[in-house]
Amino acid sequence: MFDDRSPIYLQIADQIKNDIVTGALAEDEQVMSTNQYAAFYRINPATAAKGFAQLVDEGVLYKKRGIGMFVSPNARELLRGGRRDAFFADVVDPMIAEARAVGVPLSEVVRYIQKEEQ
């Protein structure tokens, strides 16, 4: 589930963000409590709490006193905006590098993508 090459609290935050971007977690939906989350993924509760606190700091989650934590109303748009900004650098550039390395002409890549548009 989690790897030991980067802090688990960051991996938790990334996973919840991903659930929000894909729509698996809806806006204003309640997320698991840190103890539930810790039990479910078999991790230390303080680590889970740190991941959730990070998301509150970033405005992705908000707290309701005595009830729990919820997805912020604008969280999905906030996260999608960030991912769009990084899209070309993170996704397209490596694809171009790979295409060049294995000898796929970019014109062929463009044709392939254009088929998807139709």
Partner 1 sequence: MNALEVRAENLTVRFGGVPAVDGLDLRLAPGKIHGLLGRNGSGKSTLAALLAGFRKPDEGQVLLSGGDLGAPRSPYEDAVVTSRICLIRESGDLYDQVPVKHVLGYAASLRPYWDHDLAGELLDKFEVPIGKKVQKLSRGKRSALGVVLGLASRAPLTIFDETYLGMDVPSRELFYDVLLADYAEVPRTILLSTHLVSEVSALLEEVVILDRGRLVTQAPVDTLRGRGASLVGPAAVVDELTAGLAVLAEQRLGGTKSVTVLGDLDEALLAKARSAGLEVGQVGLQDLFVHLTAPVPSKEARR
Binding site for partner 1 (CB under 8 A): 2-9, 35, 38-39, 41-47, 50
Query: Of the two residues 4 and 116, which places its CB atom closer to partner 1 in the complex?
Result: 4
What is the per-residue burial (b if ≥16 Cβ within 10 Å, else e) of 16-35? bbeebbeeebeeeeebbbbe
Query: Of the two residues 2 and 62, which places its CB atom closer to partner 1 in the complex?
Result: 2
Shortest reach from residue 47's CB to partner 1, in Å: 6
Q: Are the beta carbons of 58 and 23 closer than 8 angstroms?
A: no
Query: Of the two residues 5 and 84, which places its CB atom closer to partner 1 in the complex?
Result: 5
Shortest reach from residue 10's CB to partner 1, in Å: 8
Shortest reach from residue 42's CB to partner 1, in Å: 6
